[in-house]
Amino acid sequence: MTIAITIKVHDGVVIASDSATTLVENTNVTTVYNNANKIFHLYKSNNNIPHGLPLGIVTYGLGGIGNSSISTLIKDFRKNLSNGKIEFNPSEYTVLEVANKIKEFIYGEQYSKYFSGTENPPPLGFILAGYSSNEILAEEYRIEIINGQCKEPQLIREKELCGISWGGEGEAVHRLIKGIGMNTLYSLSQIEISEQRIIDSIKKIIDASELYLVPPPMPIKDAIDLADFLVTTTINFSRFTFGPPTVGGPVEIAAITKHEQFKWIQRKLYYDTLLNPDDYVLRI
C-alpha cells in the first residue's frame, strides 16, 4: 500500500511518498516490504537537455504488472521517452501530453493485456506533476485504473490554484485536512435519510472543518516540510491502526520548480554512492 502526496504552491510542486509495498494472497496480507520506489523523475539530463525536464510522477495502488514492478515499468517509459521510441519533443510539450503517453504505455501496453479477463482487477494510480514548455505555473494530473478501466487523465486543479492532493491510503490525511473519515459517507448511508441530505451534510461538515494549509505564496521548503509531516503522520497512523502496517519505510521527497527543475530532497538508495560515483552522477 502507499501514501502518495503532492503539494502545489506558486513556486512549484512537492512530491512525497512512503516506501512500503504489500504482498497479498487470497485478500490476505502476507508480507510488507519497506523499500519500494514510488517517485520518479520522468526525463533526466542528457546532452541535449542538460538539466532534464521538470516532470515527476508518484504511483500508488498496484505494485507490479506480471513480472515487472511499477518502478521498472516507469523507468522503461522514461527510457523510451528520452531515446525516441515514444514520440516526444522535449522542447515543446504539455504535461497533459505526457499524461496521455503514460496512460497508453502503462494501461494500453501493459495493464489491459495482463489483466484481460481477470475478475476484480487491482487498482493502480499515478499523480503526474510538472511544467509544460514555457509555462510559469505547474500542473498536476491524476491517472487512475479502477475496476480494470482507465479514464482520461484528470487535471487535479487549475494552474492558478494551489493545494494538497493524495492517493493510496489517505485516511489519516483525509481526517486531518477534511475533518472526517473517508468512510463517513458509507456510515451515514446506513441511516434512513435521503442520499442528497447525506451529501449536503458531508459538504457542510467539510466546509466547516477543512484545514487551509497551503497558501499559494508558501515557500517550497515549507511545502517540503508539510509533505514530510503528512507522509510521516500516515506511516504512524498505519502503525497504530489494527492490522499490518501497510504504509511505512523511508519517506522520499522530490521538488519540482521552474528554475531548479526536478530535485531530490530525501531519497533512499540500495547502493553506496562512494562505491559507485559515476553511476550515481548518471542517476541523479
pLDDT at 200: 82
Say if 195 falls within a structural domain.
no
Say if 43 falls within a structural domain.
yes
Region 33-49 average pLDDT: 92
pLDDT in tens, 238-280: 999 998 899 999 999 999 999 999 999 999 988 887 887 766 5
Say if 46 falls within a structural domain.
yes
Predicted confidence band of residue 194 (pLDDT cuts 50, 70, 90): confident
Other Cβ atoms within 10 Å of 109 Cβ, number: 14
pLDDT in tens, 146-175: 999 999 999 999 999 999 999 999 999 999
pLDDT at 191: 76
Q: Of the given ranges (49-63, 95-109, 201-215, 223-237), which has the lowest mean pLDDT? A: 201-215
pLDDT at 31: 87
pLDDT at 208: 80
Query: What is the number of domains present in the chain?
Result: 1
Give the structural domain span for 231: 3-170+214-283
Q: Which of 41-50, 197-206, 218-227 has the highest mean pLDDT?
A: 218-227
Say if 238 falls within a structural domain.
yes
pLDDT at 26: 65
Say if 98 falls within a structural domain.
yes
Kindly state the percentage of the chain with pLDDT values over 70.
97
d(CA 210, CA 217): 19
pLDDT in tens, 72-125: 999 999 999 999 999 999 999 999 999 999 999 999 999 999 999 898 899 999
pLDDT at 279: 60
Kindly state the percentage of the chain with pLDDT values over 90.
73
Say if 163 falls within a structural domain.
yes
pLDDT at 212: 92
181 or 263, greater pLDDT: 263
Other Cβ atoms within 10 Å of 59 Cβ, number: 28
Task: Supply the CATH number for residue 267's domain.
Answer: 3.60.20.10
Say if 223 falls within a structural domain.
yes
Say if 178 falls within a structural domain.
no
pLDDT at 184: 79
pLDDT at 284: 47
Arithmetic mean of pLDDT over the chain = 91
